[in-house]
Structure formats: C-alpha cells, structure tokens
Structure 1
Amino acid sequence: MRRVDGPDPVSIRIHEKLVGLTPNAPECCIFRVHTLLRNVNQKAYDPQLLSIGPYHRGKDGLRLMEDHKLRYLQLLLQRRNETSVETYIKAMRELEGRARRCYAEPISLTTDEFVEMMLLDGCFIIELFRKFEMLDLIDERDPILQFGWMFYSLKRDLLLFENQIPFFVLTKLFKMTKVPNQEGNLIDLAVLFFQVSLLPFGHHISASSHESFIDIEHLLALLYKSFTPPSVGIEDNTEEKLNSIPSATELQEAGVKLKKLQSGSFFDLKFNNGVLEIPFLNIDDGSESIFRNLIAYEQYGRNNDVKYVTDYVSFMDDLTNSPKDVELIRRQGIIENWLSDDEAVSTMFNKLGENVMVSNDYYAQIFRDVKKHCRERKNVWIANLRHKYFNSPWALISFLAIGFVMKSCRKQSTKN
C-alpha cells in the first residue's frame, strides 16, 4: 500500500477538475447528435454544401460556399451604400458570449473567428431569404438560385440540427440591415422559404402569429414550431397505455378503413365508425433527413412535453411494416411516393424509430379506440366477408346465388 504524505494527489486532481467544471448553460440548445442516433444514418445529419455554425466549419466539400457567403455580404453592403462591416462586427462581439453558451460542446474558435463566423453565416442566411422573396435582389449569375439542386441542398442543410446559429443572431443582423417598407419580418421570410418544395407537409405550416414563436432557438426550432400544434398538456389517463397500432393490412383485415384526412393539422388522426383518417404525406429523397433532424430536436428539447414528430413517425412505423402496407396506404391517396418503390418507404419509417425514445402520448386515445374496434368480432367478420365476397363482381354474384339457393331451400322445407 502506498503511503501518502499530505493531501492525496488523486483528491487534488479531482478537486481541480471540479473547480474547472462549467455548469450547463440554460441557453444551451445546439447539440451534436449522439452516436446511437447518428450511426443509423450519419448522412442525414451532415451538410452537403453549406456549413452553418462551428460544428461542421472547415470540412472538405463545404468550402465552396464560404466564397458565396462573402459575395452575399458584399452585395448587402453595396445595396446599403456601406464600405465597412465595423458596425456589424461590434454588434456580433456583444453577442459572442451568449451565442457560445448556446452550443453544448466547447468551441475551439478564437473570439475573432467566432465573431466572423456569426457575421458571415447570419448575413448569408438573411440575404438568401430576401432573394427568395424579393425578385429585384436576384442576380441572374447567382448559381445558388440558378441551379435547382443547389438551392434544394441549401434548404436541407439549413435545417440540420447540428448546423445552426442562434436565432437572436439572425434577428439582430436582420434588424440592422432591414430596408424600411420593403420587407416583412424575419419569421415570415423564413417560413415562406422552407415551406416551398422541401417539406413533406408544407401546406400545414401556420402563420407567424403562432404564440409558440416566442424564444425561438434557431431555424430548425422555428420550422418545428411553425407546424406543430400549440403546447397542450397530456391527460394522466389510468386506462391501458398502448405504444403501438396494427399495420395497415392488419387494420384492413379487422374492418378498419384508411382514408386521407382532407383538412386539419399534419398531426391530426381521426377515428370514427371504423374509419381512420390520416393526413397526406409526400415522401422524397429529402424526407428522411427532415424527419431525423426534427426528431433529434425533440429528443434534446427541454420544453418539448409532447413529441409530435417522434410519435407521428412511430405511428407510421407501425402502420408501414411491409411494402404491402405502403401500397395500401398509397392507393388510398395518403402517401405520394417519390422513392424507388414501396419497400423504400417501409424501410425508411422502420429505421426512423431506432434508438429514439417514444411515448405515443399524443395518439394514446386513438390507439385505444382502434384496438377496441379491432377486438369486436362483428367488425372482423364483416371485414372478412367483404374481403372474400365483395372484391370482384363474380364473387358477389356467387355470394348472392348461394344466399338465393339457401333461401329457396328453407321455403321448400317449410312447405313440406
């Protein structure tokens, strides 16, 4: 046994670590996605063209856009008849400490590097929003707006959980560069920018009067709050809690009819008289990335009492167990599939829920009602009857003929 004279060196070392430990900042809202979630599909969280914030800054393949950030800043200054960025740099220096605390991990950038990043990233985003809204700002030689694939990739990159800067930085720069009587507010510009040709549920985005727009953390949070319902409390129900629902084909066999919901929130499900109404969903190559990053935001969010996207994806995971399920839903007009085949949609939803905490609180009552309906033997019997005898004209004729013969036999036996 080692004899220690004086304070134990291990005790000293731990004490020094405790003294140097920084507390978790309440402003912290931008995280790196944890390994278990990231490993399911790493590409879904990595930018393709554009780095915003410090986590992906300087990576290979993303440096081309750094020149475009400088060009956008130059055009902004020219439009405002300014020759110096001194005023903007001063404003960013005042926000540096607060902005750093928004990131969950220590940032190795120096003060000057961090301030420069905020200015270039922030002005680029704001100018991109303005160009999309105000046609007179568009430069015909701008490749970002010329090439559809590039514009789409930038939209996608701006909604990555790890690829964010604090929204208050954008707000400050927007106010400093705003042209009076020529544009709306930043929230409206951002929502309009993202809802066109990107989101699988774009037509459900609400106006900026939504009360949850207070204290927006970043652009991904803004998008999330623009299409989710106002925060509601979930009733503490003592009834059986269900975490799953039968697949589409199983529901059909139990007499449940699937139908496209004609109006309402993207997260609305309605079940009445054996009919389950589901909102329309457009699935393309970018849908998985959008869903994964929205789920990541919910998983890390402190104030996300109801995990709308996570619960919805869990529901779709149950509903689309196989390509046959997807085909059934697609034929009902609930899904428009732009992927290679129905199996690709089924695989996407089946993997989206891996390593994700799911509650299904939002759909608990719907699940209970559906399960109750499926338990009733009469509904199963009617469903089997329809499946066997009413799927074709010849089956229906045979069924009616059998019924006619049986009725005639009963009449004859009565006479005898």
Structure 2
Amino acid sequence: MAGIYIHIPFCKQACYYCDFHFSTSLQYKSEMLNALQNEIRLQQNYLSGQTIETIYLGGGTPSLLSGDEVNMLFDTITKYHTVSSDAEVTIEANPDDLNEQQVKAFKQTTINRFSIGIQSFYNEDLFWMNRVHRGQEAQASVKRVQDAGFTNITADLIYGYPLLTDHKWKHNLEQIFELSIPHISAYSMTVEPKTALASFIEKKVYAPMNEAQSADQFMVLLQEMQNQGYEQYEISNFCLPGQYSRHNSNYWKGIKYLGIGPSAHSFNGEARQWNVANNARYTQALNGNTIPAERENLSEQDRLNEYIMTSLRTSWGLDINKLESISKHSGQELLKAAEEFFYKGWINKANNVLTLSTEGKLYADKIAAELFF
C-alpha cells in the first residue's frame, strides 16, 4: 500500500502564520495543472507498482480547483497507478470555497473526505490570522458538505494564541462537537520565521505566544476530546472510533508515499526527495520532462531516529522489536536512555511498546530528541 500527495500551490490570500509554499496569483493555474499531470507520468515508477490506498490534495488551497480539474488529476493518477476501490481521497478546503455549487461539483469527483480549515469560529480571531472566511461560513460549509452526503470530514483548529481565552477555546470545541465532525486536527500556534506573524511580533504589533497558555489549552483539548469519546491517536489528531486519517497515519507509520507538485516531499522507504518550492522553476522543469527534485538517501541512523520521532507521537507507540529490526541498536540502549522519562512519568511501557503519558505529550519533541541515536 502507498499514498499520493498533490500540492496545489495557490491561495486567495496569505494567512499571517503560514510558511507553506503557495502563490496568491492564479494566473498560471493551467500551466501548473499541466505540470502536475506531467510529474505524475514521470514519477509513475517511484512507488514500484504498489496499490494506491490514499490520495490527498493539499496546499495551498485545493478547493480553488474546479470539479473538472480535480477529475483531470485523478484520471491521470489512475492512468499510471492502480488505485484501490476503497481509497481514501481527501481534499483540503477553506470554508469560503464550499458554496453549494462547488460542493455539488466535488460530489461528481472521487473525493470522499473533506479537510476543512476552520481554525476558529470567532471573527476577531480569523481577522487576526488573516483568514478569508468568517465564523458563520465555517458552520455553513460543514453543514453543506454533510447535506451533500459526505460523512468523512475533518476540521482544523488552532489554539495557544493571545486572542484565544480558555472560554473561547472551549466554545470552539463545542461548535465542532455540535456539528458532529468525526475527526479534528488541533494545532498550537507556532511562529515560523519569515512569516507576517513573526514580523508583527518582532515589531510589537502582535503579542508573543505564551507557552503556558498553549500547554493549558492543550490539556483542555485532551479532556474535552475524551469527554466526547474521541481518541487521540496522534499528538494533534483526534477521531471518533475508526475515523482516523488513513493518509496521515501512513506518514507516521513510515509507509511509502509520492509527493507531486512544487515543495512536495516523497518517501520510498530508503530515501526522501523534495521538489523545488518555486512555481515557475517547477513548471519550467516539467515542461522539459525533468523532475526538479533533490534526494537524500537515509542512513540506518536516519531511519531509526525518524521512527523514534514519529512513533512516539502516536497511540500505537514505539515498538522495541521494530526498532531492533531497523538497526543494530538494542532496545536496552533505548530503555536506558529513557530512564529519566520513565521516572518523570512521561513515558509508559507495556508489552515492549513505549507511549507518551498525558504529561509526556507536552514534551514530545524534547523526549524524541533526547532518545535519538
């Protein structure tokens, strides 16, 4: 099994916190779509003929595409790959794009899962983030998708920024529950270099993030999700029973995937590659039947450390037996390195599998870094 990710590098406007690759000009959208199709053709052997179980349209804002353009990309994929009949096919969407006509158009495609970027239901928060949509549009878009017959829906929320009081955070979560959304991805606001948010904080236009606030709201998130019967199967991802994201889970489980589009990353089990993060250079290269990618062969240590980092973020945990199958290092070496975290109660061990405790999830990156070989 394997997955395909397609990066659609266009947005209506730039969110202040975002450092993903995109352009706010749609002038060259047709050229980009032609290049994407050409890359799919040129990369047809990257996954060694494996069946495609998941397809994910990310970005950027893929919901800016028409239904016909989505079908064109899917037709190209099926021309060069075997796609499972029950493949999970996700499109990221902004609420303001999901009007009745667009939802109806997407219903005529193979899309069967929506990832809707809500972030907040409060207009002042959305304005602070420079989001296009407003709170009422977020609610309406979810209902519109549900009325069209889609049940596999996930929503993104952000917490840990100055405007978000605990009361507002709980209300955002309550809105999600009332809308019966089966999957939620919730992220702490991070300040990435060279973003507008970083500049505003540096110039003291915006207040800086507060780590204590973020930690407190993370704990509120865990409690509210548990109360509503959601499983936290990854640090930032929660779902009702059986509703986890198959595509994203493959990333955390180290399953192969092909990334198509500018800035997209790929992994074939032995190496990673990533495309140039520049629309013009990407399309020009593909026009010449060249894939504008760099490649890094992963050493045994690289693969081991990646497994430590990703597995500890999940409810499936770090399997000592798998660790030993990846490298020459023994599980005892890792357990010795983890002694401090056992003592602090940040890591639990059961049946040779290590998982983070509730408190340990606050320090996931620190723990993983300390356990790297």
Normalised to the residue count of structure 1, the TM-score between the two structures is 0.26
TM-score by length of 2: 0.28
Q: Which structure has the highest helix share of the two?
A: 1
